[in-house]
Amino acid sequence: MQDTAKYLIHADITTDGIVERSDVVGAVFGQTEGLLGDELDLRELQDSSKVGRIDVDVDSENGQSFGRMTVATSLDQVETAILAAALETIDRVGPCRSTIEVRRIEDVRAARRREVVERAKTLLTEAFDGSMRSSHDLVEEVREAVRVEDITEYEGLPAGPNVADSDAIVVVEGRADVLTLLRYGVKNAIAAEGTDVPDAVGSLTEERTVTAFLDGDRGGELVLKELAQVGEVDYVAFAPEDRSVEDLDRRTAMAALREKVPYHSVADLETPSDLATDAGAVDGTGAAPGSSPATTSTAAAPAADGSDANGTDDADGVGDETAAPPETLPGHVRAVVEGGTGGARLLDAEFRSVAEGDAGEVFDLVADAAEPPAAVVLDGEIDQRLLDVAAQRGVEQVVAASTGEFVKQPTSVRVRTAAQLLAANEA
């Protein structure tokens, strides 16, 4: 049926008791029977292959059940919408009161068209790469080749040509990392060549401003510890988690260097690679996702070679300052609600952002969060579904632009509007 389906009905299920998949399927057939007449009877539609298998996924916790249901149909838009509306009339599953809400109706053909477009883009890029190169690409290729040829040695260690004379150096793990940075115009990198940092590197760090730019893995942590013992480290930058410096593209590498942090801010961390998701790691857009206050207060300093992101010499280095995110609940409320973002933000117990998304996706954000959030900030209206899943996941408080009508309000969840919280904070 999936191969011939035109639409997929996606619905959320909430019950006041413990139910299983078979209970939900039975309720669907039992309570829709005769509701829409013979032509839209669900059993008849399945027999004629106009409606596919009803897929149900149900989880139970704290005496309640939450789940999702998917129904594939080859009906037209009107008939599919009617069938979807019929599902919302189901108010009991087994012995339990229940609510079924249709979240969306997906056009399968539109999804396939999107896949075709994305695949076509990939094929266009890969298949015609050789024939679509511009003169700028050719110039850059030659320029990078020249930079790679510039690799030298400093007391037997792979290094860029500016290491001997530059006031600032970048210490990386291996020769491949030096070559990568040379391609991007960073000419003052030197390789430590493993976790046993040579004395030559240790001595060099005592005279220069040093940025350690390391892989986002356990090896990078060990190199940093060894380097700090044999020399002096001023700044630290990590590649994204589980990635190597040699594998980074220009944008990601230069952004990681710009997001470096003072060594003293990470010296006491048990796992310095936490920076890979806070300061040194970027998502490929040049922005650090989920950055924390400790890692975003980086001061500008000449820790890179004197080459900027465009590969040109720049005495100011690659460091810059980034704005610190909100550190308090009112700060997040001002940023999300008063800022009119139309989004939602999940916070941990220390009011650090752990996830963000559109306001319409807040139910899924809370339900799918790997760790239950302590608070939810929403630029929208709090509804019963959000309260139910918040109580089920152990959320302590929800702050939103407005509140709706609640059938029941869990005592474990504190609910406030943005105006109420900010007024109390200013009082």
Top mean pLDDT of 2-16, 285-299, 386-400 is at 386-400
**Can you tell me the distance from the alpha carbon of 26 to that of 96, in angstroms, rounded to the nearest whole number?**
13
- Is 196 or 3 the better-scoring residue by pLDDT? 196
**Can you tell me the distance from the alpha carbon of 117 to that of 125, in angstroms, rounded to the nearest whole number?**
12
CB 75 within 8 A of CB 17: no
Whether residue 247 has pLDDT greater than 70: yes
In this structure, which topology does domain 135-295 adopt according to CATH? Answer: Dna Topoisomerase Vi A Subunit; Chain: A, domain 2 (3.40.1360)
Q: How far is CA 282 from CA 49, 88, 240, 294, 319, in A?
A: 48, 43, 6, 16, 15
- Which phi and psi angles does 98 have, rounded to 5°? -145, 160
Whether residue 275 has pLDDT greater than 60: no
Q: Cα-Cα-Cα-Cα dihedral of 293, 296, 300, 306, to 10°?
A: 150
Whether residue 127 has pLDDT greater than 80: no
Q: Which CATH class is domain 7-110?
A: alpha beta
**Can you tell me the distance from the alpha carbon of 251 to that of 258, in angstroms, rounded to the nearest whole number?**
10
CB 256 within 8 A of CB 282: yes
Per-residue pLDDT at 305: 41
Q: Would you state the structure tokens that stand for residue 219, as one six-digit string?
A: 């090896």
- Is 185 or 267 the better-scoring residue by pLDDT? 185
Q: What is the pLDDT of residues 205-232, one digit of tens each?
A: 888 889 999 988 888 888 888 888 888 8
Measure CA 365 to chain center: 12
Per-residue pLDDT at 134: 61
Domain ranges, ordered by start, for the chain: 7-110, 135-295, 329-426
Per-residue pLDDT at 278: 45
Residues 6+ apart with CB under 8 A from 385: 12, 14, 99, 101, 363
Q: What is the mean pLDDT of residues 110-137?
A: 75
Dmax over Cα atoms in the chain, in whole Å?
A: 87
Q: What is the mean pLDDT of residues 131-135?
A: 59
The residue type of 340 is G
Nearest to 181 by CA among 256, 121, 90: 256
Helix or strand holding residue 278 (H, E): helix 275-278
Q: Would you state the structure tokens that stand for residue 4, as one six-digit string?
A: 């011939």
Q: What is the pLDDT of residues 298-338, one digit of tens each?
A: 333 333 444 443 333 433 334 343 344 567 899 899 989 98
Q: Reply yes or no on domain 329-426 having CATH 3.40.140.20.
A: yes
